[in-house]
Amino acid sequence: MPSIGPYTLPNPVVRAPMAGVTDRPFRQLCRELGAGLVVGEMVSGKPELRNTRKSKLRLDHTGEPEPIAVQIVGGDPEIMANSARFNVENGAQIIDINMGCPAKKVCNKAAGSALLRDEALVKDILQATVEAVDVPVSLKIRTGWSPDSRNAVRIAEIAEAAGIVSLAVHGRTRACGYANTVEYDTIRDVKASTSLPVFANGDINSARKAAEVMQYTGADGVLIGRAAQGQPWIFREVVHFLNTGNELAAPDLHEVETILQRHLVSLYDFYGEYLGVRIARKHVSWYLKSQPGNSFRKKFNQLDSPTAQMESIAEYFRDPSLRKEAAA
């Protein structure tokens, strides 16, 4: 099994950090359903943002199994070093540096995948962060800034020299966003160039696909992001397939309902009723995207209390006519 510093993972399937998605309730659920590691939502390195409610919620890891992995983002070596120290002081056992986010609001601040355009700055940030803390530091990147400037192999070499202990590679450039074909060839080249554990990321949406990507690229593990939204059981499916070569049956409607209801309750408990109800709406939409029910989702999004939401979900799964009606 792959290791990140002193931590040997129970399996090679990792829940990718995603802002607005991988909050504590979802991280805990993914771990329960098989993820070998979960990484928290990225937090800004800027100290002036640490006391906002959003940051405090993102830094809440109460009750989570170890190791606690926190992703930080920023474009200044000193600020990133200070951010790493702050997060370690607050319980982080692995620091993950974000140089893969393609979002404009991040890249416009010369952070995330925008950093890949400046290899000297990448080196300075990695060295400063590694030297600032006594916990393992990992790195998430893309294959480059654009198809004309793919430099993931050089970044991997810089990372290893700086003391980074593991590398996750999303197989697209920043310019590609989430379009175009994933460059598994580039991930394979990165793996061949470094002795670091490498986690492949990008369009890994099934157990069989995870196994194929690992075999093709030589990656030590996979990082699953969007495919787990609404189907957190994908982690146990991937682990089962990697261990046995057989596909695990998808959860039936009763189990989907049970998992969804548990998830909603944890959102209400974590965020409080007002915010929990609103955050629940997007998760319900993801859970039901493979189920018939566009009209149901529209009605659900108008509900404004936990009780109403829970009753609505129970009714949806209890009454087949609702699902048929919604599909019509």
Average pLDDT over residues 205-228: 96
- Please, what sign has the CA dihedral across residues 26, 29, 34, 36? positive
147-162 mean pLDDT: 92
Give tens-digit pLDDT for 102-154: 655 554 455 677 888 899 999 999 999 999 999 999 999 998 887 788 899 99
Please give the biggest Cα pair distance in the chain: 61
Residues noted as catalytic: 101
Identify which has the larger pLDDT, 296 or 194: 194
Distance CA 118, CA 110 (A): 10
Q: Using pLDDT thresholds of 50, 70 and 90, give the confidence band for residue 184.
A: very high
| Predicted local confidence at residue 326, as pLDDT | 46
How much is the pLDDT for 328?
A: 41
324 has pLDDT over 60 = no
Whether the model clears a pTM of 0.85, i.e. scores above it, the answer is yes
List beta partners, residue 200.
Answer: 169, 222
Closest residue by Cα to residue 126 from 95, 90, 170: 95
What domains appear along the chain, each with residue ranges and CATH number?
A: 3-244 (3.20.20.70), 253-327 (1.10.1200)
Q: What share of the chain is helix, strand, coil (3-state, %, to 5)?
A: 50, 15, 35
Percentage of the residues of the chain whose pLDDT score is greater than 90: 69
Residue 114's pLDDT is 81
pLDDT attached to residue 107: 47
User: Beta 198-201 vs 166-170: how paired, if at all?
Assistant: parallel
